[in-house]
Amino acid sequence: MAKCFRMKCPNCGNVVNVNGTGPCPKCSAPLDVNQPAAIALYRMGNFMGAATGFGLYINNQPFGAIANRETLIIPLPYGTYQMHIVCGMNRRCNDPVITLTPQDPFVCLKVHMKMGFVQNTFILERVDPSTMPQ
């Protein structure tokens, strides 16, 4: 199970996988994973026709892709975030809105796909962090 930290550079907007602290590879601005809060996403199993990465958006900003059997941890400041996932022609998603607060700083989301007649819908379901693959 691959696990990585994903951040958007606050300076140039580059989306990058980071380990610990490190400069943005594009503009060299410091990136610090030690944010007060985080959203984790994981994706299990194979979805029909979806072996490739799913595109992840937070507040309409692209945040890279999430691969099959990948766990992404996105360190973030406290705030409210709308999550959205797309894959090819599948652009429907339940678009959950997550609010990160000092009382609720870590939210774990499991990515499902609900099969539909015309198109499929992504479901981001909030789950207990203990269910996250290690």
Residues in contact with Zn ion by the rule CB under 5 A: 9, 11-12, 14, 24, 26-27, 29
d(CA 91, CA 6): 22
Q: How far is the CB of 66 from Zn ion (least distance, A)?
A: 21
Which is nearer to Zn ion, 15 or 123 (by Cβ)? 15
Q: How far is the CB of 7 from Zn ion (least distance, A)?
A: 10
30 torsion bin: left (phi>0), alpha (psi -120 to 50), beta (else)? beta
Residues 6+ apart with CB under 8 A from 38: 73, 74, 75, 76, 100, 105, 106, 107
- The answer to whether 15 and 83 have CB atoms below 8 angstroms apart is no
- Strands 54-58, 79-86: pairing is antiparallel
Which is nearer to Zn ion, 31 or 113 (by Cβ)? 31
Which is nearer to Zn ion, 9 or 98 (by Cβ)? 9
Q: How far is the CB of 73 from Zn ion (least distance, A)?
A: 19
Identify any residues that bridge with 63 across adjacent strands, giving them in sequence order. none
Q: How far is the CB of 30 from Zn ion (least distance, A)?
A: 9
Which is nearer to Zn ion, 20 or 102 (by Cβ)? 20
